[in-house]
Each structure stands twice: as C-alpha cells, then as structure tokens.
Amino acid sequence: METIGKGTFGEVKKVVLRSTNDIRAMKIIRKEDMSSEYMNNLLNEIDILKQIDHPHIVKLYEFYQDKVNFYLITEFISGGELFDKIVKIKHFTEHNAARLME
C-alpha cells in the first residue's frame, strides 16, 4: 500500500478494492493520540459522512475500527491537497475557488 499522506493522528494509504479493482483511500487514525472529545467529534463526523452523497464531498464507503485504529475507506481523490494549492496561490479569490472546484 502506497502512503499518500500523513497527519497528526495517522496516515492515508492508496488501496485497491479487490472485487472491482477500484482505487480507494484508506485513512488510518490512531486512537491512542486523541482525547475522548476529539474521538466523539470524529465519530459524529463519520456518522454524517455515511449519510451524505454529494459530488463535492468525499464519499465514505466503509468504516472499521479495532483496539488501536479507526479505518475509513473513502473515494480516492487525486490532485493533491486543497490547502497546499491555496498556500501556493497566496491570494485566494472566488474565481480561484470556482476553478479549483471544476
């Protein structure tokens, strides 16, 4: 599995769904590093993402957990981080936002 991102609480890996060969992202979030408040907020966000199906919001396909980690299987979005693009531009206008959303 190729690591495509790392953050404070975990990492994101590029994975393949065996049955269809579809590419997905698997976000692995370590439980040990987070407060109970953060964990509750995360679980609430996951519940919301399970119910949303919108073309501009990443789709959550599956959610698992074990004693150590949470595992979120989402659609794979290529093109890099939006935050990195905003920092690179330095001046982010409505026009920039519209072009990025396309």
Per-residue pLDDT of 22-65, as tens digits, reads 999 999 999 987 899 999 999 999 999 999 999 888 899 999 99
Res 69 pLDDT > 90:
yes
pTM check: above 0.95? no
Percent of the chain with pLDDT over 90: 52
Region for 12 from its dihedrals, namely left if φ exceeds 0, alpha if ψ lies in -120 to 50, beta otherwise = beta
Res 74 pLDDT > 90:
yes
Q: Does domain 2-101 have CATH number 3.60.21.10?
A: no
Grade residue 89 by pLDDT with cuts at 50, 70 and 90.
confident
User: Per-residue b/e over 79-94, b at no fewer than 16 CB within 10 Å?
Assistant: eeeeeeeeeeeeeeee
